[in-house]
Structure 1
Amino acid sequence: MKKGIPSMVEEMLSPFLRDNGFELVDVEYVKEGSNRFLRVFVDKEGGIDIDECGRISEYLSSKLDETDPIEEAYFLEVSSPGAERPLKKPEDFERAVGKHVLITTYEPLDGLKEFEGTLEAYDGVTLSVRTPKKIYAIPVEKAAGARLAIAF
């Protein structure tokens, strides 16, 4: 059931978010120490503020109370994905073209598992990342994680 909680929350929350101009970035259900956390990351054009996070949290909390799908105790957190927003969906990668990113891979490519630089292109299959040394073509299915990164 635990693997199904993020997708169940996404299904429950998506219509409300869409109707109110928000975008669901990610949902995670994790155990940290002895506590469980249901974290929902939401954004919108121009950014999201704390009052909007509170409104979304209240809506989701009432929906979860109605159906009570999570058996154990947990903390609900609704927040912005922040400046280092995760890239998961095709549209995330499309929007990130031209921006500074950090891509990690499941296995080494050219001896590396971490690629930080500008996302030059995304064609649905390959991420082209320009680093100070060269441009790497990273197959999307080999990417373990991807996020926007703050360039220094």
Structure 2
Amino acid sequence: MKKDPYGLSEILRPSIESMGFELWGIEFHPNTKNAILRIYIDKEGGITIDDCELVSRQITGLLDVHDPINMPYTLEVSSPGLDRIFFDVEQFKAYPDHLVAFQLKSVINNRRKFNAVVEGVNEEEIVVTIVDDKNEATDEVLTIPVSNIDRARLVVVF
């Protein structure tokens, strides 16, 4: 799963939480023409554009003072959205029985990319039931070490 680039969560979390928001996750994309630092925030009831603007103004000052990134970048503050990326194993605990798209670092049972329903979560592993192309549960249950998850995203089914 996503690592915390430059230890930014330690710098930003207290300020974001003091404003009544949860720091959902941080992404840094340095390999673009203009690097992007994307901060995801959340709160009960959802995030508005005004919330993003407020947090952006607040953390810009912190980032300027601490200056953890030694290159020019664009700061984006966003809601994690309905199809949110999971950054931490604890986040899975809020989504039992939900469909998640997994991408693993290494293959398990001939699978590296797949959709599955979250059945159980602990600090070390996530137990899932694989779904078919129609998002119907199969009989295949996988236990995925958290350390093997490269990326996981909530799948929205309408």
CA shift, 1:72, in A, is 2.2
CA shift, 1:113, in A, is 0.5
Q: 1:85 — aligned with what?
A: 84
| Distance across 1 between alignment mates of 2:109 and 2:36 | 37
Q: Which amino acid aligns with 2:143?
A: A
CA shift, 1:97, in A, is 1.3
Instruction: After the TM superposition, list the runs of 4 or more consecutive aligned residues in structure 1 that deviate by more than 6 angstroms.
Output: none
Measured against aligned partners, the alpha-carbon deviations of 1:70-98 in whole angstroms (never above 9, x if no partner) come to: 33221111101111112222320111212
1:22-33 aligned within 5 A: 22-33=21-32
What TM-score results when the alignment is normalised by the length of structure 2? 0.83
| Distance across 1 between alignment mates of 2:38 and 2:26 | 6
1:52-71 aligned within 5 A: 52-71=51-70
- Alignment CA distance shift 1:90-1:33 (3 Å): closer
Q: 2:142 — aligned with what?
A: 136
More divergent stretch after superposition (42-51 vs 130-139):
130-139
The count of corresponding residues between Structure 1 and Structure 2 is 149
With CA pairs under 8 Å and 6+ residues apart, which has the higher RCO, 1 or 2? 2
| Distance across 2 between alignment mates of 1:114 and 1:65 | 38
CA shift, 1:32, in A, is 4.6
Q: 1:73 — aligned with what?
A: 72
More divergent stretch after superposition (57-66 vs 26-35):
26-35
The structure with the greater share of residues assigned to helix is 1
- Alignment CA distance shift 1:69-1:89 (3 Å): closer
More divergent stretch after superposition (66-75 vs 119-128):
66-75
C-alpha root-mean-square deviation of aligned residues, in Å? Answer: 2.0
What TM-score results when the alignment is normalised by the length of structure 1? 0.86
Q: Which amino acid aligns with 2:30?
A: K
Matched, 1:113 2:119: no
Structure 1 vs Structure 2: percent identity of aligned residues?
33
Matching residue within 141, 146, 152 for 1:146: 152
SS in structure 1 of the partner of residue 30 of structure 2 = strand
- Alignment CA distance shift 1:109-1:4 (3 Å): closer
More divergent stretch after superposition (63-72 vs 114-123):
63-72
| Distance across 2 between alignment mates of 1:49 and 1:71 | 30
Q: Which amino acid aligns with 2:110?
A: G
